[in-house]
Amino acid sequence: MEITLSDRFATLGHPARLDVLRLLIRRHPDPLPAGEIAVVLGLKPNTLSAYLADLLQAGLITRARSGTFLRYGPDLAGIRALTGALWTDCCLGRPDLCPPAALIDPFGDRPMTSARRYRVLFICTGNSARSIFAESILRKIAGDRFDVFSAGTKPQSDLNPLAVKMLQSKGYPTGDLRSKHVAEFQGGDVTAFDFVFTVCDRAANEACPPWSGQPLSAHWSTPDPVKATGTEAERMLAFQHAYGMLRNRITAFAALPLAALDRISLQHALDDIARADGVSQ
């Protein structure tokens, strides 16, 4: 049966179903089990089951079995069909109503060139370990090409001491690092970012206001080393694992030919990096 534009609009007309889709898009490319979706959004399992069935029928989400779980993600083809229909049927192709440049030009009036510096923000919940790692790694690897920052949605007052200890053992400067709130980087007087990455699931789960300048974004899920227990040596292994995962991803990101890629190709590359879980020491 053909799925019409009105079918998809009717499905998304319910705020809770729209919240489910928004969450799955924020967590893409990681598909989520229904139980996690229910916990994050505070929905009863039977209620969520009905919402998922409606979104599946409308061709807006996907479902696949992974082990003993069914996992759900956004149906990118269905979402493209929805936005494409808006462009052709509702906007009648008028660029002043639905400007297609945002889908083609990576940064609008901030063109990509090999000479410009890119602004990057890494976000996690506490801004005490993982996002601090990411900020430090990219600044060390490619600080000549990137202005790098990190922040938390609910930042800690102090950096995690084991995170600081590990960075210092690897030769990173830590004197200027501090825990910051994302609000420092939002508002009309703040220079727009080119890239915004979430590195923890809790931060990605939160519905943050849109970032000005339409930065490219991706979710690079990284286990939280702060939750590790045991001896200090055992806990340091968890910090090493998180550091290694982020270093691998950030090395791949810094190697991308940014000036040569259009926005869609670059987004695909960022999502591919998210799927690469190899850890370097």
pLDDT at 81: 86
What's the pTM?
0.79
Q: What is the pLDDT of residue 263?
A: 85
**Does one domain contain both 110 and 89?**
no
Residue 107 belongs to a domain: yes
Residue 17: predicted pLDDT: 96
Higher pLDDT, 115 or 120: 120
Residues 269 and 149 in one domain: yes
| CA gap 10, 267 in Å, rounded | 28
How does DSSP classify residue 107? T
The CATH number for 219's domain is 3.40.50.2300
Instruction: Let me know if residue 280 belongs to a domain.
Output: no
- Per residue in 152-165, pLDDT tens? 999 887 899 999 99
81 and 107 share one domain: no
Give yes or no: residues 130 and 243 share one domain: yes
Domain end among 32, 65, 94: 94
Q: pLDDT tens for residues 36-83?
A: 999 999 999 999 999 999 999 999 999 999 888 899 999 999 998 888
DSSP state of 185: G
- Distance between CA atoms of residues 254 and 54, nearest Å: 40
pLDDT recorded at residue 4: 85
Closest CA to 271 of 104, 81, 25, 33: 25
75 plus 114 within the same structural domain? no
Domain count of the chain?
A: 2
Rg (C-alpha) for the chain, rounded Å, is 20
> Within this chain, do residues 241 and 162 fall inside the same structural domain, yes or no?
yes
In this structure, the answer to whether residues 56 and 159 fall within a common structural domain is no
Token pair of 279, please? 């850890």
Q: Are 254 and 142 in contact (CB under 8 A)?
A: yes
Task: Report if residue 281 sits inside a domain.
Answer: no
* Nearest one of 237, 212, 217 to 227, comparing CA atoms: 237
**pLDDT band, very low/low/confident/very high, at 281 (cuts 50, 70, 90):** very low
167's tokens: 């960075």
> Distance between alpha carbon 260 and the CA centroid of its chain, in Å?
22
Q: Are residues 25 and 143 in the same domain?
A: no
Q: What is the pLDDT of residues 172-215, one digit of tens each?
A: 999 999 999 999 998 777 888 999 999 999 888 887 767 877 78
Domain boundary among the residues 41, 70, 94 is at: 94
Look up 90 and say whether it is catalytic: no
Residue 17, CB half-sphere, CA atoms under 13 Å: how many?
A: 20
Q: What is the pLDDT of residue 280?
A: 43
Summarize the chain as % helix, strand, coil (round to 5).
50, 15, 40
CATH number at residue 77: 1.10.10.10
Q: Which long-range contacts (CB under 8 A, 24 or more apart) does 42-47 make?
A: 43/16, 47/16
Place of tokens 């599946």: 56
Tell how many helices (H) and how many strands (E) occur in the chain: 11, 7
Q: Which of 74, 94, 114 is the last residue of a domain?
A: 94
Q: Is residue 157 part of a domain?
A: yes
Beta carbons within 10 angstroms of residue 59's beta carbon: 18
Which position among 90, 91, 98, 208 bears the catalytic label?
A: 208
- Average pLDDT score over residue span 98-108: 51
Catalytic residue among 90, 91, 98, 124: 124
Please tell me whether residues 79 and 125 are part of one structural domain. no
Beta strand residue intervals within 51-191, DSSP E: 61-66, 69-74, 118-124, 146-152
Domain extent, residue 216, equals: 103-275
Same domain, 38 and 158: no
Task: Tell me the C-alpha to C-alpha distance, in Å, between residue 208 and each of 23, 79, 125, 281.
Answer: 11, 20, 12, 33
Instruction: Calculate the CA 257 to chain-centre distance.
Output: 20
Instruction: Please indicate, yes or no, whether residues 57 and 128 belong to a single structural domain of this protein.
Output: no
Q: Are residues 109 and 240 in the same domain?
A: yes
